[in-house]
Amino acid sequence: MRVSQLTGRRTNSLGWAKSDCHTCASHNRYCDRRRPRCSPCLAEGAVCKGYVQELNWERGAVRISKKRAKSYLGSTESATTKTAPLPTPATFTFVDPSESQKRPRRRSRTTAKSSHSNFSGSSPADIVATESAHEDASILSTSPCSNWSVSMPSSPRLSVDSQEIEPVLCARIGHQPGDVGYALAFFHSCFAYTTLTFDVNVNPWRACLPSIHEDLPCVRYAAVALAQRQQAHFSGKPEGVSILNLKAKALSLFASNLNHLSFECGLSTALLLIALDYAETGVSNWTVHLRGACHILESHGGIRLAESRPNLRVQIAMLIWYDVNAALISRCGPVFPRTYLNALMAWQADDEWSILALNGLPDGLFLDMYDVAVAASQLDNLDSCTVEALRAKFLKAQIKEGAGKCQILMSQVWRLGLVLYCTRVFSRTSTPSSEALQAIKDEEGLDTGSVLDDSTDTQLEAHALATQILDLVSTIPADSNFQKQCLMPIILAGCEMSATDTAYRKVAIEFSERWKQKTGIWIFDSGLEFLRTVWTRNDVEFADGAEDGCRGMQVPWTEVFLPSAGHGFLFG
């Protein structure tokens, strides 16, 4: 019997097994069934002992004698003399058992190399350069799953120490722009990095891709729509009607099947729908998608569901990030409870992801940023000591030592941006007493001085912080991702610039226009519209008050855009 050759019939192109691995089964724990080694075993450093594997015997290649056949009768998993058919789902391709043993193995290696070189190694620029004019109609195929699979290469690279922890997309057919396979490859290789500060082992966008084979294709529709929208921008073409149709289909399926979606599919769809909205505009009813995602999590057991699932944790982190940023501008409070964020930060592993890598904010400030968003929704019941305590946390925040210059500048921009937010949004709260300010300084470990000064004029302090922020942004290289992540602080700082601050206004304008062009994300354009609305209102006020000697911003952005739960802004 050719035992050594028969092991070659086992293939990693299955992607996921039908049962738990032997290690997880023996420990009675969750297993994501990913081949060749599952994520829980990799995360714990344990040896994944593999899965139950159906063997496919070559017809006529092995002769089993009667004596040999008897020895199998005592086994609980006896082999039959017939050819055992392997399961053949539509999304995977298997080797024909009627062919010779050598040819399929040689073809398998070629396929693995080809798929790896065409997709996992492609840069966004390479994909954009090959785009040409093709019709979008093929994207609306009713069963694009038959063309794609999410599988592991023949040489597994699932190491938490590497950057290759996510599955590699392998196109079966259709490498031309307009094909589903091309769009998904573009999403995998280009869009998945667009919003990040730098690469992470567990990518929140790539974590959506295993759900493209769900029976309900809402993830597939949303991912293809996102990819085609960015492709259209890079190629200088108008967005096709098919993009709107795909978005409408994804949204309709998500809304009508909210209680029937798997939690993986539901959260992936919610995240992609938010991305579709902010790729088009920074103004939307964000709470609809966020509440849907929170409902799915709660109905499946809450945040504990993500404890052993890195992909789920990073997706929830992104959802909470968008939740908190939208809450800051709308001043209506986050949708996700703080306990979710507490759990995520406690379970976070340095080799998986970080808020800094995902969005540019130092991780240590995220919990405080959440508290500020909650406080902004409770202005009527907020006391001045609470406000100053929040400001003090940002003022005393330390930037991580050993970070690069650009990272330090970006972190400082975010820290000062949050101080500016507190100064402007909480300006109506009464000034705490000198004794209260001193108590806050002592508790937070701040130096005595002008850090918390009850005599400081809010208008002057806000303008000084804003100019400092824009000066720091100008120091970061214009093509650096670190500058790209400073949108929210730049919006807040730009709102403080009066008609006489033309140089600083120019910094905000050029930033928004440059990064909208470089990324194809229209949220930068929406941020600029937000700024111009504030500037227009204040320029009128400035002209009317010029004779009285009034200078500076007359109407803060908080009065131009009143709190709104149903129609908010997202600039994070």
What digits encode the pLDDT tens for the residues 161-184?
333 333 333 333 345 556 788 889
SS3 (DSSP) at 87? coil
Residues 381 and 479 in one domain: yes
What is the pLDDT, as a whole number, of residue 117?
A: 34
Residues 42 and 123 in one domain: no
User: Residue 326 domain-assigned?
Assistant: no
Domain ranges, residue 429? 349-572
What is the pLDDT, as a whole number, of residue 14?
A: 54
User: Residue 339 domain-assigned?
Assistant: no
Distances (CA, A) of 493 to 278, 496, 566: 21, 6, 25
User: Residue 287 domain-assigned?
Assistant: no
What is the pLDDT, as a whole number, of residue 442?
A: 54
Q: Mean pLDDT over residues 394-415, rounded?
A: 87
pLDDT over 60 at 441, yes or no: no
> For the chain, how far is it from start to end, CA to CA, in angstroms?
62
End-of-domain residue from the set 58, 88, 118: 88
Tokens of 5: 């050759």
Residues 415 and 527 in one domain: yes
Tokens of 74: 């005592």
What is the pLDDT, as a whole number, of residue 524?
A: 92
Per-residue pLDDT tens for 363-382? 989 999 999 999 999 988 88
What is the pLDDT, as a whole number, of residue 445?
A: 52
Per-residue pLDDT tens for 333-359? 999 999 999 999 999 887 899 999 999
End-of-domain residue from the set 280, 300, 335: 280
Mean pLDDT check: name the lowest of 287-296, 447-456, 488-497, 504-513: 447-456
CA distance 488 to 337: 22
End-of-domain residue from the set 88, 123, 156: 88
Mean pLDDT check: name the lowest of 13-17, 123-127, 278-282: 123-127
Distances (CA, A) of 498 to 243, 418, 421, 428, 468: 39, 20, 17, 21, 15
Nearest of 509, 512, 329, 503 to residue 424 by alpha carbon: 329
Residues 6+ apart with CB under 8 A from 132: 176, 177
Residues 35 and 80 in one domain: yes
Tokens of 474: 């100008």
Residues 6+ apart with CB under 8 A from 26: none
Residues 461 and 489 in one domain: yes
Residues 359 and 234 in one domain: no
pLDDT over 50 at 489, yes or no: yes
Residues 225 and 136 in one domain: yes
pLDDT over 90 at 431, yes or no: no
Q: What residue type is assigned to position 109 of the chain?
A: R
User: If you search the block for the tokens 């600083």, which residue do you land on?
Assistant: 504
Residues 113 and 23 in one domain: no
User: Residue 289 domain-assigned?
Assistant: no
- DSSP-derived pairing of the beta strands 283-284 and 568-569: antiparallel
CA distance 90 to 147: 9
Residues 140 and 245 sit within 8 Å (Cβ to Cβ): yes
pLDDT over 80 at 226, yes or no: yes
Percent of all residues in the chain with a pLDDT value above 90, rounded to a whole number: 35
CA distance 23 to 91: 27
Number of domains making up the chain: 3
SS3 (DSSP) at 170? strand
CA distance 520 to 292: 27
What is the pLDDT, as a whole number, of residue 565?
A: 61
Residues 121 and 208 in one domain: yes
Residues 375 and 505 in one domain: yes
Residues 472 and 413 sit within 8 Å (Cβ to Cβ): yes
What is the pLDDT, as a whole number, of residue 9?
A: 36
| Bridge partners of residue 162, in order along the sequence | none
SS3 (DSSP) at 475? helix
pLDDT over 90 at 38, yes or no: no
CA distance 452 to 145: 59
Residues 106 and 84 in one domain: no
Q: Mean pLDDT over residues 463-475, rounded?
A: 95
User: Residue 385 domain-assigned?
Assistant: yes
pLDDT over 70 at 101, yes or no: no
Q: Mean pLDDT over residues 549-553, rounded?
A: 57
Confidence of residue 224 (pLDDT cuts 50, 70, 90): very high
Cis geometry, peptide bond prior to residue 124 (ω within 30 degrees of 0): no
User: Residue 445 domain-assigned?
Assistant: yes
Tokens of 280: 């088009």
Backbone angles phi, psi at 271, to 5 degrees: -65, -40
Tokens of 482: 């670190």
| Bridge partners of residue 169, in order along the sequence | 150
Per-residue pLDDT tens for 202-217? 999 999 999 888 888 9
Residues 455 and 562 in one domain: yes
Tokens of 21: 């691995």
Nearest of 531, 458, 452 to residue 498 by alpha carbon: 531
Tokens of 112: 């693995």
User: Residue 414 domain-assigned?
Assistant: yes
Mean pLDDT check: name the lowest of 66-70, 201-205, 474-478, 513-517: 66-70
Instruction: Give the chain's mean pLDDT.
Output: 74
User: Residue 463 domain-assigned?
Assistant: yes
Percent of all residues in the chain with a pLDDT value above 70, rounded to a whole number: 67
